[in-house]
A and B are shown apart, each in its own frame.
Chain A
């Protein structure tokens, strides 16, 4: 018996336990999460998010689809760029530290080791991206009055960030070097911009609106229509194709990883055995197939003026049905109604319209109600309807655009723009439908009526051209009723408006009641105004 044999066994001694493989993977992942360099880049990502996404979204009207366009626009571009660069950086870690031969002696397969690093990088990047999405969605939820958060753009963004990580990681693994990370980041930046240029071009109506592979890149900038997703659901077709493309890229590049060589060990690849090589090859094949399918599907897309881009193979008929809603209305004598999605603008619409409606109350054909309608629908001809239709896309003579935030809509300029459009519509009748604009006589009457409620002169052609202040010579309308009165200058119109405005309220009202039909038809000239 030796002294060693007599040594009592410590009470805390435990025999070595067998640790299942899945726990070792979790532990390796936890270590990678803890030491990921992405954490150090988060302040820069936060600053880029604030400048490029948060501020942009805050400047958009509070409707879900419009605000959500930001998260797949410039926000996704910058997250992808940093994700690709950082992923390329972490992929070169073993080569940089010259630990390839050391780690080759461990039990874990090199491919699994690298996949853990990629998973940790992608986890942090996707988490940061989702945090940004949450900020934008929370901000929108506090301001939006209708609808809910669209989830397909989030899926596109998450897949885009993950695919960018895979691109960077694969480049860093296959081409290790100190310039790999920045070159990959800049290449992803340039590729995004090239894609965005093509995608923005696809949405240009002059190009025939034909479906092309450029649809697979999310366009930047604001959407074409402000009421997108309001009257009709946005079909997820294009988003599905985008997810399919980026998922294919992700899968294909992950499949390429086993082909890489372990740095510092000659002849040793990441793939430890034939089975992994076969699985990787199958992954590459599936990825290529998914991306090719997405390309093919995008080519068959067609543009619908109600719902946007649709892919027939992915189209759900339910998406073409209008979304039911109940108008929000206010006012008693003159009702102003608005779509619930634009309820924050109701006050900014109602106050100026009530004032303008009171000025024309009692005249023949005076409307008793204002309603918001969809898209580019032109309002019904004044005098033939008791409802003044206005839409979010309508371009009037004033500064009232629904692209402004509700806070901006409550300013005097915006409200006066609403009055200018309303009064011009009322006095110009069918002339406005024919698009040459109101006649000089109609303009003079509108200016006088607007002056009575404190609104400035609208941006009529004679008043909006450079250097044509009241008193200068003017351009004139060329067709329709206004053509019969061409040649009136801004000064002449202003003088006639001043004369009409100087009439007593009763006299002005009486003249309008008697001559409104003639004024709208264009038979009354500027000289015939009292």
Chain B
């Protein structure tokens, strides 16, 4: 976006009759709504959310292909394969925390935390929905509960990582965690923090995954992803 795009010609005042108070209030509300929608849209565009939605759809398609053609079947791979794709959806969400405007964006108003919160929550929900849509009619080990728990928990790790590494490199720690989870699956670990290997209704695993997500979401909402030069390496 350039300065030229915001240069709209001023609207000349029309010498008509003054509006009534109720008409003025509704017009003001409509303007605020339009401005809010535009603000949200610009925020989502700056985070490449449309591309993220495409990537999430790709993840859903990939999961469907894996289950349909049994690309990762047999033993622990039946659980590890979907876990990799769920982690892929989670890291896409983490990447969207990167802002191209840097620190200057933080001085733009009070709506930024709400926009960050809404974007992360909406994308997480869409990711779960897209993956669940992909497995409709197929047999996913553990079902939608494990799918949702993995997406929530690994997204939380990605959001937390974005505070340290910046948004663009926030995919590395979630994939590192995935490496631990793969080993935990093979070694039959039982710790709640290895939630991908726990049964669907395991309370400890849900507490861990939801806790990591909540902390990551809160941190990204209030602080935002790191905007240092590390993103430009």
Which of B91, B167, B233 is A35 in contact with, Cβ under 8 Å?
B233
Give the residue of B48, B62, B73, B171 whose beta carbon is less than 8 angstroms from that of A197: B73
Does the CB pair B175–A52 fall under 8 Å? no
Flag if A186 contacts B172 (CB, 8 Å). no
User: A196 contacts the other chain (Cβ, under 8 Å)?
Assistant: yes
A91 → chain B closest CB, angstroms: 13
Expressed in whole angstroms, the minimum distance between the Cβ of A43 and any Cβ of chain B is: 9
Contact of B141 with A by CB under 8 A: no
- Within the complex, the shortest CB–CB distance from A423 to chain B, in Å, comes to 33
CB-contact partner of B168 in A97, A178, A185, A196, under 8 A = A178
Digit string of B110-130 for contact with A (CB within 8 Å is 1, else 0)? 000000000000000000000
The answer to whether A193 and B168 touch across the interface, beta carbons within 8 angstroms, is no
Enumerate chain A residues within 8 angstroms of B171, measured Cβ to Cβ.
85, 181-182, 185
A52-B183, A97-B232 known; A179+B172 contact, CB < 8 A: no
Contact A201 B85, beta carbon cutoff 8 Å: no
Residue in chain A with minimal CB distance to B63 = A190
**B window 156-195: CB within 8 A of A:** 167-169, 171-173, 175-176, 178-180, 182-183
Q: Does chain B have a CB within 8 A of A167? A: no
**Which of B35-43, B76-84, B101-109 lies at the binding interface?**
B76-84
- Tell me the complex Cα distance, A174–B53, Å: 21
- The smallest C-beta distance from A371 to any residue of chain B, in angstroms, reads 35
In the complex, how many residues of chain A place their beta carbon closer than 8 angstroms to a beta carbon of chain B? Answer: 36
Measured CA separation A275–B80 after assembly (Å)? 46
* Docked-complex contact B84 and A193, CB < 8 angstroms: yes
Does chain B have a CB within 8 A of A41? yes
**Secondary structure type dominating chain A contacts:** helix
Tell whether, in the assembled complex, residue B175 and residue A178 are in contact, meaning their CB atoms are under 8 Å apart: no
Inter-chain contact B85/A196, CB cutoff 8 Å: no
Whether B172 and A190, one on each chain, are in contact in the complex, defined by CB atoms closer than 8 angstroms, is: no
B217 on the interface (CB 8 Å rule)? Answer: no
| One of A74-82, A227-235, A426-434 contacting the partner | A74-82
Q: How far is the CA of A200 from the CA of B51 in the complex (A)?
A: 36
Tell me which residues across on chain B come within 8 A of A48, comparing CB atoms: 176, 179-180
Decide if B169 touches A178 in the complex (CB within 8 Å).
Answer: no
* A182 lies within 8 A of B88 (CB): yes
Task: Contact check, B55 vs A183: say whether CB atoms are below 8 A apart.
Answer: yes
Contact present for B175 and A193 (CB under 8 Å): no
Q: Which residues of A contact B80 (CB under 8 A)?
A: 193
**Pair B173/A179 contact, Cβ less than 8 Å:** no
A–B complex contacts, Cβ < 8 Å, 5 sampled: A82-B172, A178-B51, A190-B62, A194-B71, A197-B74
| Residues in chain A within 8 A of chain B (CB atoms) | 35, 37, 40-41, 44, 47-48, 51-52, 55-56, 74, 78, 81-82, 85, 89, 93, 96-97, 177-179, 181-183, 185-186, 189-190, 193-194, 196-197, 200-201
Instruction: Pick the 10 closest A-B CB pairs, nearest first.
Output: A182-B171, A186-B88, A48-B179, A194-B71, A182-B91, A44-B176, A37-B233, A189-B84, A51-B183, A193-B72
On B, residues with C-beta under 8 Å from A are 48, 51-52, 55, 58, 62, 66, 71-75, 77, 80-81, 84-85, 87-88, 91-92, 95, 98, 167-169, 171-173, 175-176, 178-180, 182-183, 231-233
Instruction: Given A85-B175, A193-B71, A197-B72, output 11 extra A-B contacts at Cβ < 8 Å.
Output: A44-B173, A55-B183, A78-B179, A85-B171, A178-B51, A178-B95, A181-B168, A186-B88, A189-B175, A190-B71, A194-B66
